[in-house]
Chain A
Amino acid sequence: GEDVEQSLFLSVREGDSSVINCTYTDSSSTYLYWYKQEPGAGLQLLTYIFSNMDMKQDQRLTVLLNKKDKHLSLRIADTQTGDSAIYFCAESSNSGGYNKLIFGAGTRLAVHP
């Protein structure tokens, strides 16, 4: 079945790079997503990658996709305190003729001085 797994916690020092990892099971996923959730807020789309790409870079964010291993990572360069949040990995599934997202449990990123 469809499943997405992430580690639950990551703690980094301000200014360092953060790497959040994710594994998924649905090899037919066309897109993979990273969402960010700040305390008390909804989910904000950070970035996404098409499944035929290996890497996507967007300012401080770098997404790496290893389709063979079904492994997705999000790298945040120069991590700031404002990056403290929960980060959700999601794979898209088009079963039943409509798009839906399968989410991981989320990785809580804590940035300390």
Chain B
Amino acid sequence: DGGITQSPKYLFRKEGQNVTLSCEQNLNHDAMYWYRQDPGQGLRLIYYSQIVNDFQKGDIAEGYSVSREKKESFPLTVTSAQKNPTAFYLCASSLDNWGINTEAFFGQGTRLTVV
């Protein structure tokens, strides 16, 4: 079955450490996105990628980095520069990011906790 897989589901990080969240999709989608969700708040865009080897900053990119070496994969690294990384992270993909008939498909999320 086609879909988006995020791993791990739960992740604990010590302060000062970098961690990488995985996102893989087998939907053959061009566009991929990373969102952060905090309790009682909506989704805030961290980074997005329209095509392989290209990505753009979203609204809250500071302290995060991404890569898009393969169409299927869009890993997110939470660096030590991110001052408040504890949150629920959601990865999404869409067929393209401007077609009117597209929609976003989401993974199950990764809950990151700094200990």
A and B part of one assembly: no
